[in-house]
Amino acid sequence: MLDVLERAAVEAGRAILNVKPSSAGTTIKNDQSPVTIADQNSEAVIIKALLRAFPGVPVVAEEAMADGRAPQIDGNAFFLVDPLDGTKEYINQSADYTVNIALIENGIPVIGVVYAPARQTGYAAYRGRASKFMVTRDDVVCDRGEIRCRAKGESLTAVASRSHSNAQTEEFLRKNSVTSCLSVGSSLKFCLLAEGLADVYPRYGRTMEWDTAAGDAILRAAGGRTSLIDGALLTYGKRRQASDCDFANPHFVAWGADH
């Protein structure tokens, strides 16, 4: 299954790269987030690949959900897809955007792929093992190596988004002996934790499950965890929530090893 997800992510990345940000036709969705032709083209590639390979597994994809096209989820397994995580970064011609694909089983992200097309770099999780890989100019996956979270030290390095810091985040950094902070967009934050380049990612802001599932799968496979503020593990497939819409996440903190 992992090879199908990786191939879909790489092909979706190619679809994104084929659209110049300056001509991507940005529009604003109801939640005030941007969407471009690149988002839509990427999602079409992924959905086609997943439904062809796994016709019985529902696909929950960001842009389809925004258009009101929610799949029927009857079983315990489904895919979560963000076809272009970090659309703002893409529009601003930053390399910090990714393609995210995850398989959820019983509320847990068990397989995940995060691919950064502009970096030709990807990350994957499959049944408890995490890896990093490169992609050639011909879109061939190569140079795969296993990754692990690093052991917690006396001081911590946090990773955060350039556009989502707030007072709660700053307070968390002060209280948890964070001495340095890496700024990066999209699901690459989870991936930096997974490959041992940072220790913690606090998110005191709104996210959806497709934003986090693939990166969370990779982090967990590398020895980390993503917890709610009360310490409970972040779960997926949240519907009929009293306080928010379907598939919305509460605030969370993603940790590397030894927390």
pLDDT confidence bin for 259, thresholds 50/70/90: low
CA neighbor of 187 nearest in space, from 172, 209, 167: 209
17 shares a domain with 135: yes
Residue that finishes a domain, picked among 146, 180, 209? 146
111 shares a domain with 235: no
221 shares a domain with 170: yes
| pLDDT at site 25 | 81
118 shares a domain with 11: yes
> Has residue 181 been placed in a domain?
yes
Claim: this prediction has a pTM higher than 0.75: yes
> Has residue 198 been placed in a domain?
yes
Q: 1: helix, coil or strand?
A: coil
168 shares a domain with 67: no
Among the ranges given (50-64, 119-133, 158-172), the one the predictor scored with the smallest mean pLDDT: 158-172
Residue that finishes a domain, picked among 122, 146, 170? 146
Q: What is the CATH number of the domain that holds 71?
A: 3.30.540.10
Given a contact cutoff of 8 angstroms between Cβ atoms, the answer to whether 220 and 212 are in contact is no
The residue-averaged pLDDT of 237-252 equals: 88
> Has residue 151 been placed in a domain?
no
| pLDDT at site 95 | 96
- Whether 161 has a pLDDT exceeding 80, the answer reads no
182-239 pLDDT, tens digit each: 999 999 999 999 999 999 999 999 999 999 999 999 999 999 999 999 999 999 999 8
110 shares a domain with 22: yes
* Domain of residue 184, residue span: 156-255
> Has residue 166 been placed in a domain?
yes
Paired tokens of 30: 């109801």
108 shares a domain with 35: yes
141 shares a domain with 58: yes
Q: What is the CATH number of the domain that holds 249?
A: 3.40.190.80
19-34 pLDDT, tens digit each: 998 777 888 888 788 8
Residues 197 and 194: their CA atoms lie apart, in Å, by 8
190 shares a domain with 115: no
Paired tokens of 14: 């190619």
- Whether 80 has a pLDDT exceeding 80, the answer reads yes
160 shares a domain with 125: no
Q: Write the CA distances from 12 to 19, 84, 201, 213, integer angstroms.
A: 11, 9, 27, 18
166 shares a domain with 135: no
| pLDDT at site 193 | 98
27 shares a domain with 96: yes
| pLDDT at site 62 | 96
Higher pLDDT, 226 or 160: 226
Say if residue 170 is exposed, middle or buried (CB neighbours under 10 Å; 0-12, 13-18, 19+). Answer: middle
| pLDDT at site 164 | 66
81-131 pLDDT, tens digit each: 999 999 999 999 999 999 999 999 999 999 999 999 999 999 999 989 999
| pLDDT at site 51 | 97
Q: Structural domain tally of the chain?
A: 2
| pLDDT at site 258 | 67
| pLDDT at site 99 | 99
> Has residue 20 been placed in a domain?
yes
Residue that finishes a domain, picked among 119, 146, 173? 146
